[in-house]
């Protein structure tokens, strides 16, 4: 008897896949269309026979996607912001080095006097010039959707249907002085909509880049953002990456940051998540070669009924790698934070130096955090540490400030801000740092 068991693609994924379509702005060359079609097909195939995550999946134990599953989404429209709206969202440091994507598709971009070797582009512009497809020195095929973990369900869904790609390409030994701001704006519709921003950053050997990846919502309405960012770092490259997620409280946000680091490269990621009703950030670092450095600073600041989940993985593979990770959560009201920090140190990764610290401040008796270090260490000559603290505001610290004349509320706000500041102060772009500091002060004010 023939084995007739064949699982169909999960119903929810099938719904999403049905809505995936090729970009059709008419700017793409035929060979580009072929290439993209093949990518979309691959993403789609990876979802075949996959089930939709439930809390029975270890990776999704604390984050129930049922509300996402129970919502019917339609594709978001291709929309544009007004010049005034864009001006209001820009940072002084990046007003001449930004790209704005609305619902996953390019709205506008500005780049003044870029250093030779910097390419700031999107799919259309790239393929129109044919550069990335044809020039042998810019082989986009080797990078897009090629990171380890590309078959993870939501990453595959993005690959199956992204409409555009933000591309930041930094050539060999190119030092980019100005920070690059990639702003991903969601504009929801009358009924729930979804979009799939995609971002590719390639830092070639010896290059240096500071980049801000920024997610916000303009307008009201339920929406779902399924974002994927791939970062490739060649030998001795340095990338300072700040990822800010401040979507509206009606948003579902699932984001992936996949980073591959070659020898002697240095990657820093500062993440700040304050938005979305339900958010998940998968941060995956693959240290592919020797002596790579990874620094991860994370801040989650949530209240009301929000849920924010961060799952990070640092995979060491070779000797002399190091990592420093600090993840902080401030949880108020009935909100819930999740942190899972995986560190993989296989036999070949001798002399690894990995440190992880998770600290949570619970501001209400109903607030909750599930925090879990997950160290899998096989190598025997390594230094790996981890720690987790969960606390409320320290009554002694509040009293200390009161004894200097601050009233109780001011003291509590100041201490909450101070807790967040340790992460915010790491952000290298001053105006963004100030803006976030201001927002933290506002958010902790009630």
Partner 1 sequence: MINATGEVVLLVQNLTAEVDGTPILKGLNLEVKAGEIHAIMGPNGSGKSTFSKVLAGHPDYTITGGAVIFQGQNLLEMEPQERARSGIFLAFQYPLEIPGVSNIDFLRVAYNSKRKHAGLEELDAFDFDDLVRQKLDVVKMNPDFLSRGVNEGFSGGEKKRNEILQMALLEPKLAILDETDSGLDIDALKIVSGGVNQLATAKNATILITHYQRLLDYIEPDFVHVMEGGRIITTGPKELALELESRGYLWVREEEEERVKVQG
User: In the complex, what is the shortest distance from the CB of residue 247 to partner 1, in angstroms, rounded to a whole number?
Assistant: 26
The residue among 301, 266, 272 whose CA lies nearest residue 423 is 272
Helix then strand then coil, % of the chain, to nearest 5: 25, 40, 40
Question: Closer CB to partner 1, residue 79 or residue 437?
Answer: 437
Compute the half-sphere exposure of residue 300: CA atoms within 13 Å on the CB side of its CA: 35
Strand, helix or coil for residue 100: strand
Q: How far apart are CA 411 and CA 54, in angstroms?
A: 41
Binding letters toward partner 1, positions 354-393, x by CB under 8 A:
----------------------------------------
Question: Closer CB to partner 1, residue 15 or residue 408?
Answer: 408
Residue with tokens 């990453």: 155
User: In the complex, what is the shortest distance from the CB of residue 128 to partner 1, in angstroms, rounded to a whole number?
Assistant: 48
Question: Closer CB to partner 1, residue 23 or residue 298?
Answer: 298
User: In the complex, what is the shortest distance from the CB of residue 344 to partner 1, in angstroms, rounded to a whole number?
Assistant: 30
Q: How far apart are CA 331 and CA 339, in angstroms?
A: 12
Q: Does 4 bind partner 1 (CB under 8 A)?
A: no
Measured at the CA of 93, the angle between CA 88 and CA 98, to 5 degrees, comes to 70
Q: Does 330 bind partner 1 (CB under 8 A)?
A: no
Question: Closer CB to partner 1, residue 37 or residue 409?
Answer: 409
Question: Closer CB to partner 1, residue 153 or residue 433?
Answer: 433
User: In the complex, what is the shortest distance from the CB of residue 325 to partner 1, in angstroms, rounded to a whole number?
Assistant: 18
Question: Closer CB to partner 1, residue 102 or residue 361?
Answer: 361
The residue among 328, 209, 323, 220 whose CA lies nearest residue 273 is 328
Tokens of 143: 């990078």
Q: Does 65 bind partner 1 (CB under 8 A)?
A: no
Which residues, numbered 386-445, are part of the site for partner 1 (CB under 8 A)? 394-397, 399-408, 410, 414-415, 417-422, 425
Measured at the CA of 116, the angle between CA 180 and CA 86, to 5 degrees, comes to 30
Query: Which residues are 386's β-sheet partners?
Result: 356
The site for partner 1 (CB under 8 A) is made up of 394-397, 399-408, 410, 414-415, 417-422, 425
């Amino acid at each position: 008897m023939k084995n007739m068991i064949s699982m169909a693609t999960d119903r929810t994924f099938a719904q999403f896949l049905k809505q995936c379509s090729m970009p059709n702005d008419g700017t793409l060359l035929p060979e580009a269309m072929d290439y993209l079609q093949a990518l979309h097909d691959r993403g789609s195939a990876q979802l075949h026979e996959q089930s939709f995550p439930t809390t029975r999946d270890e990776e999704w134990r604390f984050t129930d996607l049922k509300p996402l599953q129970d919502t019917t989404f339609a594709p978001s429209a291709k929309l544009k912001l007004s010049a005034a709206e864009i001006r209001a969202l820009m940072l002084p440091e990046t007003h001449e080095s930004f790209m704005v994507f609305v619902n996953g598709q390019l709205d506008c971009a500005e780049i003044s006097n870029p250093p030779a070797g910097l390419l700031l582009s999107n799919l259309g512009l790239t393929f129109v010039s044919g550069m990335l497809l044809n020039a042998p020195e810019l082989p986009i095929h080797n990078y897009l959707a090629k990171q380890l973990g590309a078959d993870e369900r939501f990453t595959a869904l993005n690959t199956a249907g992204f409409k555009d790609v933000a591309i930041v390409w930094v050539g060999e030994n190119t030092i980019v002085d100005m920070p690059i701001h990639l702003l991903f704006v969601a504009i929801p519709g009358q009924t729930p909509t979804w979009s799939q921003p995609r971002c590719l950053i390639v830092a070639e050997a010896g290059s240096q880049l500071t980049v801000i990846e920024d997610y916000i919502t303009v307008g009201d309405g339920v929406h779902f953002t399924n974002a994927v960012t791939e970062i490739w770092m060649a030998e001795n490259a340095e990338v300072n990456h700040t990822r800010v997620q401040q979507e509206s409280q009606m948003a579902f946000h699932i984001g992936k940051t996949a980073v591959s680091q070659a020898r002697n490269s240095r990657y820093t990621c500062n993440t700040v998540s304050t938005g979305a009703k339900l958010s998940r950030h998968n941060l995956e670092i693959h240290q592919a070669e020797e002596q790579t450095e990874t620094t991860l600073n994370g801040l989650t600041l949530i209240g009301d009924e929000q849920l924010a989940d961060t799952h990070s993985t640092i995979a060491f593979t070779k000797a002399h790698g190091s990592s420093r990770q600090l993840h902080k959560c401030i949880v108020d009201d009935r909100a819930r934070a999740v942190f899972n920090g995986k560190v993989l140190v296989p036999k070949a990764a001798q002399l690894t130096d990995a440190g992880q610290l998770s600290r949570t401040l619970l501001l209400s008796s109903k607030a909750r955090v599930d925090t879990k270090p997950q160290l899998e260490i096989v190598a025997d000559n390594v230094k790996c540490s981890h720690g987790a603290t969960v606390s409320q505001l320290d009554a002694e610290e509040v009293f200390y400030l009161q004894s200097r004349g601050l009233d109780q509320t001011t003291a509590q706000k100041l201490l909450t801000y101070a807790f967040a500041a340790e992460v915010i102060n790491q952000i290298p772009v001053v105006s963004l740092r100030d803006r976030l500091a201001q927002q933290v002060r506002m958010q902790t004010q009630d």
